[in-house]
Structure 1
Amino acid sequence: MDLQPIPDMNETDSVPPIFEPLCAVFRRRLKADGQKYTPERARVLDAVIRMDGPFEAEQLVEDLRASGYRVSKATIYRTIKLMQDAGIVQRVLGGDDVPRYQMIYGAKPDDTIVRVDTDEVISIDIPELIELRDKICAKYGLSPSSHRFQIFATGNDA
């Protein structure tokens, strides 16, 4: 399923594109897969929206339980997978084997440096990466929909 921003007829370079609400995107994907948008899935989606930066599924479990919601780990993991399929979140690699995710729908690409010695994830903003991505896609007659750039590094701390 190709999810694209709804074009704004009066769009200029200074006006960001208009995106569909996440719940509508998620509902449409679930319906296409013959699944339902349940209250539990809605709570998981809301919790993901509130996350700031990369997160672990276990963080969602803790946050939802702290808020008084009872959502099983299985529901959270299945919902994250469905959100990946819908283009709402993507898996982010870290220095350890713990899967992390981040919101990508409606967000500019989040390029990162992952310190494998401390598991710290540092967001970086390098406009030249976007230019390079666009140039590479144009060379092959493609239009980029997103990208992920990660550097794995260790510190020089002694």
Structure 2
Amino acid sequence: MTQSAENYFISYIKENGLSMTPQRKIIVETFLETEGHFSAEHLHDLVRSKVPDVGQATIYRTLKLLLDSGLADTIETGDGGALYEHAYGHDHHDHLICVHCNRKIEIFDETIEARQEEVAKQHDFKLTRHRMYLYGICPDCSG
């Protein structure tokens, strides 16, 4: 049985000599409750609705721990910003990103995935993870 994401995170921070502070706990819980793609600022707003004194710097530090632990992943928005999403316990996917409205579409293509593995193997490269962003114009913005 797979351990819960929260327990996984607690194990990760203990292994790294850190502790689960009350603020860190509410940030992690709120992160895990929030589905989809969201900014650090949006997460901060959600956390502050529960605990008003949590600062933006604490959000960013905890997001870095979530990324380092493998619980979170980032999506580069193409304009220098980043969005966050769950990684642990979620199937791998890539993204189509509209450069006009910033719409994100999650995609998975077995042919592309297999080709990436082949390219890595051709270069005697052990692939551990990857992400792919395809930028363009969505149907709503092109019409």
TM-score, shorter chain, exceeding 0.5: yes
**Structure 1 residues not aligned, in runs of 5+:** 1-17
Aligned partners of 1:118, 1:98: CA distance in 2, in Å? 14
Structure whose residues are more often helix by fraction: 2
**Normalising by structure 2, what TM-score?**
0.83
The structure 2 residue matched to 1:97, chosen from 80, 86, 92, is 80
| Aligned ranges 1:10-49 → 2 under 5 Å | 18-49=1-32
Q: Percent identity over the alignment? A: 24
Post-superposition offset of 1:69: 4.8
CA deviations 1:33-58 (Å, max 9, x no partner) are 22111121111111111222211001
The secondary structure found in structure 2 opposite 1:63 is helix
Runs of 4+ with deviation above 6 angstroms = none
Is residue 157 of structure 1 aligned with residue 142 of structure 2?
A: yes
Which residue is 2:61 aligned to? 78
The number of aligned residues is 140
Which residue is 1:123 aligned to? 106
- CA-based RMSD of the aligned residues comes to 2.1
The structure 2 residue matched to 1:57, chosen from 21, 40, 65, is 40
**Normalising by structure 1, what TM-score?**
0.76
Distance 1:137 1:24, change over 3 A: farther
